[in-house]
Copies of this chain bind each other. A is one copy, B any other.
Amino acid sequence: MVYILGGFQTDFARNWTKEGKHISAMIREAVDGCLAATGVAPQQIDVGHVGNFAAELYAMQGHLGAFLVDVDPAFSGLPTGRHEAACASGSIALLAASAEIEAGRYDCALVVGVEQMKTVSPAIGGDYLGTAAWYELEAKGVEFPFPKLFGKLGDEYDRRYGLKDEHLAHIAAVNYGNAKRNPRAQTRTWYMSEAHACETSKYNSVIGGRIKISDCSQVTDGAVAVILASEKFAHSYAKQRGTKVEELAKIEGWGHRTAPLRFDDKVAESANDPYVLPHTRRAILDAFKRAGIADCWALSGIETHDCFTTSEYMAIDHFGLTAPGQSWRAIEEKVIDFDGKLPINPSGGLIGAGHPVGATGVRQLLDASLQVTGRAGNYQVPDARRFATLNIGGSGTTSCVFIVGR
């Protein structure tokens, strides 16, 4: 069993380029904050992992794992690496770190997710994001390719089952509303009502296909660090802090699957499947099985990948809140609302809290661990005991799921 001792998230509203700061400063602040929050000494860290999508493009810098060494003199010699699967990069780093702990290689792992995106204009950033898809075939020369790809996800739902824009608008409104309770959410001071999300106007214009501004996650700078620990380390950590290991969050299960890269290939493959993204469904079921839970109703909440409202719409039926294609029922019945039966994204998710691409999977795991240990502050789901995360890379290509409980 792998434990989550805690972590730290930078304020996702910040613009580090405007502050004149390098991506290494983001890593440093997340790590320093994480060590302070957990009370773990740098000398206790055995290994470091970084999740990052495309610092080569956004920040002209590779080899990000090595930047961990720069944070503290005690880290000199620390084994490090960087892991990537587009917007699921943070989860790939978490999978690598937790596998090493399970293998007995290390007892205490520092995992940092980081992305600095505001170094370039939205148009150039949109082009960079195209490298998460098959760039030459799906993104080259296309303005903002990803809203268009996730618009096609909505179109496919519409074709198979029908899809109303008002349901997507409710998803946007819930995420923006939840973000107001989260002191590190990018949009916590922004305005977005359900009525505003419903309308198409010069204040909520179409980005591509059926995707309007209100359907989109943000361009975000952010870094998040967590500490994962072996059972042995967690026991000694709990003892030192006068608590019980049962009070710590732990990873109860995980799922990891990859669908064909091109969106059209995904849809063609799933034509006869009740699920539009069957590999995402399998990743969720794999995680449920490993965690020993029967279905989503064993969860207190979900932190899912709402890069666009359509991806959360997909997550609702793929997690099993409704039958396939009926996500609208859970929306109409307000199951996913903050005080609903199974709240989704109490943090505000990617739309509300922000989406620093390589950091998102780590942010989701941190929020899940805060929720199940009663430390989520104003966005705490009452009596939360078990949370799921779903982190997606590309147009539904890489799906990573964690079940976090205590």
What is the bound-complex CA distance between A140 and B61, given in angstroms?
A: 11
- A83-B82, A102-B104 in contact; A60/B261 too (CB < 8 A)? no
Q: How far is the CB of A192 from chain B (nearest CB, A)?
A: 30
* A170 interfacial by beta-carbon distance below 8 Å: no
Check B258–A131 contact: CB distance below 8 A.
Answer: no
Interface residues on A, range: 35 or more
Say yes or no: is A63 at the interface (Cβ < 8 Å to chain B). Answer: yes
Report A137 CB to chain B, min CB distance, Å. 9
B-side contacts of A53, CB under 8 Å: 62
Q: Tell me how many chains of this kind the complex includes.
A: 2
Does A206 have its Cβ within 8 Å of any Cβ on chain B? no
Interface residues of chain A: helix, strand, loop or mixed (majority): mixed
- Once A261-B63, A261-B67 are accepted as A-B contacts, the answer to whether A256 and B79 lie under 8 Å apart by CB is yes
Judge whether A258 and B99 touch: CB under 8 Å.
Answer: no
A100 to B, closest residue via Cβ: B99
* Pair B85/A260 contact, Cβ less than 8 Å: no
Q: A63-B394, A66-B397 are in contact. List 16 more A-B contacts (CB 8 A).
A: A53-B62, A60-B135, A60-B140, A61-B131, A63-B131, A63-B393, A65-B84, A65-B92, A66-B85, A77-B282, A79-B257, A80-B85, A80-B398, A82-B85, A96-B96, A103-B103
Residues of A that sit less than 8 Å from B by CB: 22, 24, 48, 53-54, 56-57, 60-70, 76-86, 92, 95-96, 99-100, 102-105, 128, 131-136, 140, 256-261, 269, 279, 282, 393-394, 397-398
Known: A99-B99, A131-B60. A65 touches B77 (CB 8 A): no
Q: Which of A95, A96, A133, A140 has the most CB of B within 10 A?
A: A96
Neighbour of A62 across the interface among B24, B103, B131, B269, CB < 8 A? B131
